[in-house]
Chain A
Amino acid sequence: MKYIDEFRDGELAKNLAASIGATVEPGRNYSFMEFCGGHTHAISRYGLSDLLPPTVRMVHGPGCPVCVLPIGRVDMAIDLALNHGVILCTYGDTLRVPASDGLSLMKAKARGGDIRMVYSTLDALQIARDNPAREVVFFAIGFETTTPPTAVAIQQAEAEGLANFSALCCHVLTPSAISNILESPEVRQWGTVPLDGFIGPAHVSTVIGSRPYEFFAEEYRKPVVIAGFEPLDVMQAILMLVRQVNEGRAEVENEFSRAVSRDGNLKAQDCVAEVFELRREFEWRGLSVVPYSALKIRQKYAAFDAERRFDLEYRSVPDHNACDCGAILRGVKKPQDCKLFGTVCTPENPIGSCMVSSEGACAAHYSYGRYKDMH
């Protein structure tokens, strides 16, 4: 597969590993956060940590939209399916997220909810066309990569007069999450994290460009290297971060230059701006309430906003007392530090957000790496 296989070459990996080993300064520790769940997945799936020197530590960040989706929002989706009789269309990732009353979307389906997994908003629009007598709601989750497809779907529904289609908008924004990690009152509670730099998200950046990260680099003096998703991309980005730290630089570098530009995809950005606007605040699971971090549908498209259409109220649902997800999402604790990890909290029975999606720090460690804890 072109542009995939070449970026997974094991021989080049060995050499990059050697380069990183040769570039780290002896006696110096490096702590980098890979913000994006896709990078967490790549690191676990390819066993990248085995190829890094022990002084380089990767901290898994909150860039997994399923992990940060509050239980209360899943409850709204379940409510729509069970109590309003809608056809609820959702991406596969959300189906097993545990919500209130022992339910999940999968369990609500077993109770009779018409919940359908879709690959794309295009499929949801088709379901709306095929079922004119039913209400069809699309459960719209995701960061800036996944937001433009929802925007297009809403515009398309408007153009076609597809009156039975609406979206439950839970789209969230990356830069706000990064700020939140770097400066928030709770960080004092858990202790600051000496993060030396960030691996910037790959596909979010194709949409928003590299420009938004320049603020973090300047304001917080932390280097950011935007990396592609393949394991060689991640290793290259780590090498570039180590170099920046050694040289005392704090710049935005773009390793994923084959797909990311400084400005990003302006057409997609315009589309999003036409349909959505900022919410004043939004609750993130594990990070609590973050200002200007999420989107809602604009008044002009109110007819396609499921929250307005069905008069839904958001009720916040707190996490389990002993759940350490908040600290883990900020990189202050590791999955193994949580009392519930691997015992009560497992991928089959996830208690908190980090275990719910295969991208979450706890799920990734459990599925791919926990053998290391034993040896």
Chain B
Amino acid sequence: MAEMKRAYVRPLDLKQGRVDLTHGSGGRSMVQLISELFAKHLGNEYLGQGNDGAVLPAPTIHGHAGRLVMSTDCHVVSPLFFPGGDIGCLSVHGTVNDVAVMGATPLYLAAGFILEEGFPLSDLARIVESMARAAREAGVPVVTGDTKVVERGKGDGVFITTTGVGVLPDGLELGGSRARPGDAIIISGSLGDHGVAIMSKRENLSFDAPIESDTAALNGLIAAMLATGADLRCLRDPTRGGLAATLNEIAGQSGVGMMLHEKAIPVKPVVAAACEFLGLDPLYVANEGKLIAICASADAERVLAVMRAHPLGREAALIGEVIADDHHFVQLTTAFGGRRIVDWLAGDQLPRIC
């Protein structure tokens, strides 16, 4: 019997090729996309199992079984590539951070891609490579995933959903309802970098600002903070809606008020200038690599020291304190000497003429 010749499979054309509907249909084309692109960059022993679901060891922490923490995030950022990052690394950082701020050690990620027909493979490769790098640096592998393709016009290039799981040691409770009057409010660094970096690329807002997104995985910084044994009440990352949204959420959950001090809040001068151009308030602009920590006031100095010793917390600052307030207002003493509240916003901030 003559030997069957091995069929020649043309490799993906990562330079000129585009996503087409066959890539999502479950056939050879999809398998090729997965092996030559996704698995190639994201590859690890779990992803390599190649089954419908990844079998993972039971999570332990410090040799003990802990509780599971799970979080999911959908990423629809536009533009896909922005100064300082892209949708790929953003999707890893966002979910790693959501798990880590609960006090859990992030362990595994799942990633789902919705690709638009016609999306350039070269861009997809860039995104996946960036995701892989972010996952490696954070120490959290992508162990399972899914890909679908929608017709041209029905998707914005690519949408990514990431889900993360982590393990939380017994006895550690962090949450938005735990803030108490007297607690210290700490921020890990300057505000507004990400939102302004994104806006600088958007259509109709054309200005050149040397600002980069601060997108980063914060699990290393958080681990260092937890290791101090300080009495941390709550950690949260101020993403959409900025510092204002996050603090208002916590104030509401904990039934307290807050008093912030404008002079203490770090904002890069160039971010402040960009906000002047657009009439935006940095307190409401999104961040993707910063966290807010609320802790017992006695522990504030210790926490700050450990944060400042870490590359992602060099500009950590004490920005205010939790106070008793039945109306749950977040108030601010202005650099000018007056007082005002930092309220919830009605939807996104829009640049204004007035």
* A and B, direct touch (CB closer than 8 Å): yes
Which residues on A sit within 8 Å (CB–CB) of B205? 119
Chain B residue nearest to A366 (CB atoms) is: B343
Chain A residue nearest to B327 (CB atoms) is: A374
Interface string of A13-52 (1 = CB under 8 A from B): 1100100000000000000000001100100111111110
In the assembled complex, B264 has its CB within 8 A of some CB on chain A: no
Chain A residue nearest to B332 (CB atoms) is: A47
State whether A46 touches B329 (Cβ < 8 A).
no
State whether B354 touches A357 (Cβ < 8 A).
yes
In the assembled complex, B302 has its CB within 8 A of some CB on chain A: no
Which residues on A sit within 8 Å (CB–CB) of B204? 116-119, 123
Which residues on A sit within 8 Å (CB–CB) of B350? 92-93, 95-96, 117
- Pick the contact of B340: A44, A95, A117 (CB < 8 A): A44
Which residues on A sit within 8 Å (CB–CB) of B341? 367-371
For chain A, which range describes its interface: under 10, 10 to 19, 20 to 34, or 35 or more residues? 35 or more
Please give the number of chain B residues whose Cβ is less than 8 angstroms from any Cβ of chain A in the complex: 28
Question: Which residues B317-354 have CB closer than 8 A to chain A?
Answer: 327, 329, 331, 333-341, 343, 346-347, 350-354
With known contacts A93-B353, A117-B350, A348-B346, A46–B276 Cβ distance under 8 A: no
State whether A66 touches B354 (Cβ < 8 A).
yes
Question: Which residues B199-246 have CB closer than 8 A to chain A?
Answer: 204-205
Interface string of A109-150 (1 = CB under 8 A from B): 000000011110001000000000000000000100010000
Which residues on A sit within 8 Å (CB–CB) of B269? 1
Chain B residue nearest to A142 (CB atoms) is: B353
State whether B351 touches A117 (Cβ < 8 A).
yes
From DSSP, what is the main secondary structure of chain B's interface residues? Answer: loop
Shortest CB-to-CB span from A236 to chain B, Å, is 13
Chain A residue nearest to B333 (CB atoms) is: A47
With known contacts A116-B204, A347-B346, A367-B343, A93–B338 Cβ distance under 8 A: no
Complex Cα–Cα for A161 and B238 (A) = 48
In the assembled complex, B296 has its CB within 8 A of some CB on chain A: no
Question: Which residues A351-372 have CB closer than 8 A to chain B?
Answer: 357-359, 366-371
- Which of B329, B333, B354 has the most chain A CB within a 10 Å cutoff? B354
Shortest CB-to-CB span from B331 to chain A, Å, is 6
Which residues on B sit within 8 Å (CB–CB) of A119? 204-205, 278, 351
Complex Cα–Cα for A96 and B350 (A) = 10
Shortest CB-to-CB span from B205 to chain A, Å, is 6
State whether B337 touches A1 (Cβ < 8 A).
no
In the assembled complex, B273 has its CB within 8 A of some CB on chain A: yes
Which residues on B sit within 8 Å (CB–CB) of A45? 334, 340
Complex Cα–Cα for A119 and B207 (A) = 11
Which residues on B sit within 8 Å (CB–CB) of A117? 204, 350-351
With known contacts A116-B204, A368-B343, A10–B335 Cβ distance under 8 A: yes
In the assembled complex, A243 has its CB within 8 A of some CB on chain B: no
Q: Which residues of A contact B (CB under 8 A)?
A: 1, 4, 8, 10, 13-14, 17, 37-38, 41, 44-51, 64-66, 91-93, 95-96, 116-119, 123, 142, 146, 231, 346-348, 357-359, 366-371, 374
- 19 A-B interface contacts by CB (under 8 A): A4-B276, A10-B336, A38-B354, A41-B354, A45-B340, A46-B338, A48-B336, A50-B338, A92-B353, A96-B346, A117-B350, A119-B204, A347-B346, A348-B347, A368-B343, A369-B340, A369-B341, A371-B329, A374-B329
Q: A13-B337, A45-B340, A47-B340 are in contact. List 10 more A-B contacts (CB 8 A).
A: A8-B336, A48-B338, A50-B337, A65-B354, A93-B354, A123-B204, A348-B347, A368-B341, A374-B327, A374-B329
